[in-house]
Amino acid sequence: MTHATTTTKISVQDVRKTFQLKNKEFVALDGVSLDIADNEFVTVVGPSGCGKSTLMNILGGLETVSAGRAMVDGKEVSGPGPDRGVIFQQYALFPWLTVRKNVEFGLKVAGVPKAERAKRAEYFIEMVGLEQFADALPKMLSGGMKQRCAIARAYAVNPSILLMDEPFGALDALTRVKLQEQLLETWNREKRTVMFITHDVDEAVFLANRVVVMAARPGRIHEVIDVDLPYPRTEEVRLSPEFGELRNRVWHAVYHQ
Amino acid sequence: MERVAQMTGPAEGDDVRRQPEAQLATMTMAVPGGEPEKPARAKMTKRTKLLILNAISVVGGIGIWWTLALTGFQFPTPPEVIETGVKLWKSGLLQEDLAASLTRVLIGFLAGSALAIPVGFVMGWYTVARGLFEPWIQFFRTIPPLALLPLVLVLLGIGEVPKVFVIFLAAFLVCVISTYQGVVSVDRTLINAARVLGAKDGTIFVRVVVPASTPFILVGMRTGLGSSWATLVAAELLAAQAGLGYRMQQAQLYYDLATIFVGIVCIGILGLVMDRLLLLAESKLTGWQERI
């Protein structure tokens, strides 16, 4: 899983995306270029309407570019694929399936044999700490547990990229902090390239190697800020003056564009 | 159930969403003396209270009926109705009528639902199918199926076919609309979630669209069943040689109110039983739904 060299994993080149809105053209993204290295953790922050979700949907293959190129592993993105796991803000668990069956979904689709499926599901359910709820239906889970299940489900198909669209946005502040720490722990154990969208400046700085700040109308990249804080990011890091400084920089970039 | 108990462990403190319904009962069993016990007990007493009130209401209603019959209202008394029912049963007429009515309703209803589900799916999934089917379904939906009976009788004769056909139509029209609604209202995020996990259209249809629209289909079937019953009895009143509706029609000619009452009670009970069966299927098949 680990690669020592830093190769480019995701490459977005001069992407433009427009939507037709009642015979008016709406520019969601304009001239967006961004390279993300292998196993890098990048967070994207910006005001609503800055096109951060659109950018993620393009990389996920759920939307197409109007101009420019979106590349993954040197190949242009054409449709969704199991190499890119997506985690949605609304969890998007299949409510009629148990946690285990949800995690196994992608494996089943890929035709993985039953025994292998069960083994892999077990591993990732344990990784997110849901082993006691493996046979529970989503309706029995809290928001935080649902999102952990969604993370396990995304990991189960072994994607090399995780695209996360405000995954913790609907959770309360305490659960969010806890899940941020768990996510980093997971990422540390199972390195992936992560693009994480958020509107929370603290979250953006705490998680990332790099914070991409976007601006709206038209959606574009405003500033990219490197976060040179050491991993593992503990509470001390979160409360350190260096963290505060970075937080202020990102805050200014987001709110005083 | 042990799992539910473990959920309340301190390590997972933030993680239990307390469910108002069935789970509470299981939680009480699993966590004796725990905090959730109180609401569970309150729920139990509420249910018993409701049952007692139901019983009082039924007994009271029959009492009122009896009183009315005794005070000169032209009703048969409850014992008279039961007596007539027994007499009809012994003569074999009641069984014959029940069989005739049930056969019609079941064939019409099952055939109607069986066709409605695939048509509804196709309409929801393919724009072409929606465009072609929708005007006809919307048009016929506004016509009570019974209003087509004169036409159907002329075209199909006076045998079983026309009656079954109108029942079929009644069930079909209701169920097709709600299946279609179910398909178009499947959460886009779920479809996207399946797509990003590698599922193609066929898999998405079978594994996401079908289960997600099951609640809608079952609601459609329940409404369709009610509509089938209504159509059946009316069709039998108009044109039949056997069946509950026919029996009531005949009784009307002889001013035989007791037999009419037997018919009404039978229709009510059968409808209720069938509805309960569908409700049971619903709770088995769609128990995963979050009900708030």
Does residue A249 belong to any structural domain of this protein? yes
Pick the residue from chain B with its C-alpha nearest to A86: B196
Residue A37, classified by CB atoms within 10 Å of its CB into exposed (0-12), middle (13-18) or buried (19+), is middle
- Domains assigned to chain B: 2-70 (no CATH), 78-285 (1.10.3720.10)
Question: Closest Cα of chain B to A81: distance in Å?
Answer: 5
**Amino acid B10: pLDDT:** 41
Report CB contact under 8 Å: B288, A174. Answer: no
Helix (H) or strand (E) holding A161: strand A161-165
Tokens of B233: 């009895």
**Position B22 confidence tier, pLDDT thresholds 50, 70, 90:** very low
Name the residue among B6, B187, B198 with its Cβ closest to that of A109: B198
Q: What DSSP designation does B12 have?
A: G
d(CA B136, CA A194) in angstroms, rounded, equals 51
d(CA B224, CA B237) in angstroms, rounded, equals 20
Pick the residue from chain B with its C-alpha nearest to A155: B197
d(CA A125, CA A135) in angstroms, rounded, equals 11
Phi, psi of B111 (to 5 degrees): -65, -40
Q: How many CB atoms lie within 10 A of CB B261?
A: 22
Cis-peptide, bond into residue A218, ω within 30° of zero? yes
What average pLDDT does range A136-148 have in this prediction? 92
d(CA A118, CA A251) in angstroms, rounded, equals 44
Does residue A164 belong to any structural domain of this protein? no
Amino acid in position A54:
T
B230 closest CA partner among B150, B114, B149, B135: B149
Contact between residue A97 and residue B213 where contact means Cβ atoms under 8 Å apart: no
**Amino acid B147: pLDDT:** 86
**Amino acid B4: pLDDT:** 41
d(CA B199, CA B205) in angstroms, rounded, equals 10
**What residues have CB less than 8 Å from B141, skipping those under 6 apart?**
B173, B177
ipTM: 0.86
d(CA A102, CA A81) in angstroms, rounded, equals 17
d(CA B244, CA A155) in angstroms, rounded, equals 61
Question: Above 80 in pLDDT, residue B18?
Answer: no
**Amino acid A82: pLDDT:** 87
d(CA A198, CA A195) in angstroms, rounded, equals 10
Report CB contact under 8 Å: B196, A109. Answer: no
Question: Closest Cα of chain A to B185: distance in Å?
Answer: 15
Residue B59, classified by CB atoms within 10 Å of its CB into exposed (0-12), middle (13-18) or buried (19+), is exposed
What average pLDDT does range B242-246 have in this prediction? 89
Q: How far is CA A85 from the centre of its chain?
A: 8
**What residues have CB less than 8 Å from B104, skipping those under 6 apart?**
B160, B163, B164, B167, B232, B235, B236, B243
Question: Above 80 in pLDDT, residue B263?
Answer: yes
Does residue A203 belong to any structural domain of this protein? yes
Name the residue among B4, B192, B198 with its Cβ closest to that of A81: B198
pLDDT per position as a tens digit, A40-80: 999 999 988 889 999 999 999 999 999 999 999 989 998 89
Helix (H) or strand (E) holding A170: none
Q: What is the mean pLDDT of chain A?
A: 91
**What residues have CB less than 8 Å from A112, skipping those under 6 apart?**
A120
Does residue A219 belong to any structural domain of this protein? yes
Collect all residues from A whose CB is shorter than 8 A from any CB in B.
Answer: 60-62, 80-82, 84-86, 88, 90, 92-97, 105-106, 109-110, 132-133, 135-145, 153, 157, 174-175, 178
Amino acid in position A121:
A
Return the exposure string of B267-283: e unless at least 16 CB atoms fall within 10 Å of the residue's CB, then b. beebbeebeeeeeeebe
Amino acid in position B1:
M
Helix (H) or strand (E) holding B25: helix B22-30
Question: Above 80 in pLDDT, residue B154?
Answer: yes
| Least-confidence region, from A126-135, A171-180, B37-46 | B37-46
d(CA A144, CA A161) in angstroms, rounded, equals 22
**What residues have CB less than 8 Å from B157, skipping those under 6 apart?**
none
Report CB contact under 8 Å: B196, A62. Answer: yes
Tokens of A46: 């910006």
Q: What percent of chain A has pLDDT over 90?
A: 71
What is the domain extent for residue A234? 1-76+193-257
Contact between residue B103 and residue B222 where contact means Cβ atoms under 8 Å apart: no
d(CA B177, CA B145) in angstroms, rounded, equals 15
**What residues have CB less than 8 Å from B194, skipping those under 6 apart?**
A94, A105, A109, B203, B204, B207, B208
Contact between residue A213 and residue A221 where contact means Cβ atoms under 8 Å apart: yes
Provide the residue count of chain A.
Answer: 257
Q: How many CB atoms lie within 10 A of CB B132?
A: 12
Q: What percent of chain B has pLDDT over 70?
A: 84
d(CA B236, CA B164) in angstroms, rounded, equals 10
Provide the residue count of chain B.
Answer: 292
Report CB contact under 8 Å: B290, A95. Answer: yes
What average pLDDT does range B197-218 have in this prediction? 91
Q: What is the number of CB-based contacts under 8 A between chain A and chain B?
A: 96
d(CA A29, CA A55) in angstroms, rounded, equals 8
Helix (H) or strand (E) holding A20: strand A8-21
Instruction: Give the C-alpha distances (Å, rounded to integers) separating B163 from A253, B48, B93, B265.
Output: 73, 42, 20, 22
Question: Above 80 in pLDDT, residue B7?
Answer: no
Does residue A251 belong to any structural domain of this protein? yes
Does residue A9 belong to any structural domain of this protein? yes
Question: Above 90 in pLDDT, residue A120?
Answer: yes
Report CB contact under 8 Å: B3, A132. Answer: yes
A138 closest CA partner among A189, A197, A93: A93
**Position B288 confidence tier, pLDDT thresholds 50, 70, 90:** confident
pLDDT per position as a tens digit, A80-95: 988 999 999 888 999 9
Does residue A239 belong to any structural domain of this protein? yes
Provide the number of structural domains found in chain A. Answer: 1
The CATH number linked to A66 is 3.40.50.300
**Amino acid A189: pLDDT:** 87
Does residue A154 belong to any structural domain of this protein? no
